[in-house]
């Protein structure tokens, strides 16, 4: 059995759509826009571009006037400025066995990190060996590397080499260059060397405390006592 449903026909309703803005008549089409209106429309059209250009220009000006912002990136340059100072200090260095090797003392010290140099007023450096040998260096002003490998002595510099059973050797000069760890000394300036009553004057020297060998350079003037003269002569004969 079939069921049928009949829907009556609906009446047709006419629908008309009108534009949002009324159409322009011929008179309005022929009338040109005034220049203020045209100018305003152009400004509004270019406003986003003008804002972007202004923002870029302002960013560039800020970066240009900010110190270091436009500088090329690279490692920082360490200035020659002291990072710390000490008064009445005593710096000691020990060997792996715990024995005292090098001791640096002074009235005032400044440390410069760019070259790891200590500048010391009234410097005193002492090196000690297990067999009792010592080297004592003093000066009015001195410079020393942070690891105590090199010491420069300026102003009334003196280095005294002491060994058990021997007369100490005293080396004086205005500019002495010492290597405490190597127990060596040199100078390219006038020096005076004394041992007992003997005295040597020279234009420079090299000294190795390990061998007790002293080499004098330039014009050398010597005043030797008899005992030391025999000792020097015997060493020279042995080297030949």
CATH number at residue 147: 2.60.450.10
Q: Is 13 part of any domain?
A: no
Q: Residue 49: what pLDDT?
A: 74
Q: Is 116 part of any domain?
A: yes
Q: Is 12 part of any domain?
A: no
Q: Residue 225: what pLDDT?
A: 73
Q: Is 52 part of any domain?
A: no
Closest CA to 117 of 159, 156, 147: 147
For residue 119 the two structure tokens come to: 């500048």
Q: Is 169 part of any domain?
A: yes
Distance CA 229, CA 195 (A): 11
Quick check: helix, strand or coil at residue 120? strand
Q: Residue 84: what pLDDT?
A: 86
Domain range enclosing 103:
84-190+205-211
Name the β-bridge partners of 84.
111
Q: Is 49 part of any domain?
A: no
Q: Is 165 part of any domain?
A: yes
Helices (H) and strands (E) in the chain, counts: 3, 12
* Segments in the chain below pLDDT 50: 1-2, 5, 7, 20
Q: Residue 9: what pLDDT?
A: 55
Q: Residue 54: what pLDDT?
A: 78
Q: Residue 151: what pLDDT?
A: 95
Rg of the chain in Å (alpha carbons) = 46
| Number of domains present in the structure of the chain | 1
Q: Is 6 part of any domain?
A: no
Q: Residue 159: what pLDDT?
A: 96
Cβ-based burial of 9 (10 A; exposed 0-12, middle 13-18, buried ≥19) = exposed
- N-to-C CA span, the chain: 146
Residue whose tokens read 């004057």:
201
Q: Residue 163: what pLDDT?
A: 92
Closest CA to 186 of 150, 142, 239: 150
Tell me how far CA of residue 16 lies from CA of 13, 19, 23, in angstroms: 10, 10, 16
Distance CA 188, CA 217 (A): 8
Q: Residue 206: what pLDDT?
A: 96
Q: Residue 82: what pLDDT?
A: 85
What's the length of the chain?
Answer: 240
């Amino acid at each position: 059995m079939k069921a049928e449903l009949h829907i009556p026909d609906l009446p047709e309703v006419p629908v008309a759509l009108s534009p949002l803005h009324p159409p322009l008549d011929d008179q309005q089409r022929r009338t040109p826009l005034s220049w203020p209106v045209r100018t305003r429309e152009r400004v509004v059209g270019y406003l986003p571009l003008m804002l972007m250009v202004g923002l870029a220009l302002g960013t560039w000006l800020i970066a240009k006037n900010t110190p270091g912002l436009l500088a090329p990136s690279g490692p920082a340059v360490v200035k020659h400025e002291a990072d710390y100072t000490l008064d009445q200090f005593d710096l000691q260095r020990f060997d792996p066995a715990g024995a005292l090797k090098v001791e640096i003392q002074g009235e005032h010290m400044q440390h410069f990190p760019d070259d790891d140099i200590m500048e010391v007023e009234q410097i005193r450096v002492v090196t000690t060996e297990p067999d009792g040998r010592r080297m004592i260096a003093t000066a009015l002003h001195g410079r020393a590397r942070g690891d105590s490998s090199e010491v420069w002595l300026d102003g009334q510099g003196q280095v005294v080499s002491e060994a058990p059973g021997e007369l100490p050797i005293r080396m004086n000069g205005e500019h002495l260059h010492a290597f405490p760890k190597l127990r060596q000394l040199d100078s390219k300036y006038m020096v005076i060397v004394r041992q007992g009553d003997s005295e040597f004057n020279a234009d420079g020297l090299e000294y190795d405390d390990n061998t007790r060998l002293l080499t004098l350079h330039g014009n050398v003037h010597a005043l030797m006592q008899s005992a030391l003269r025999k000792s020097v002569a015997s060493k020279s004969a042995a080297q030949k």
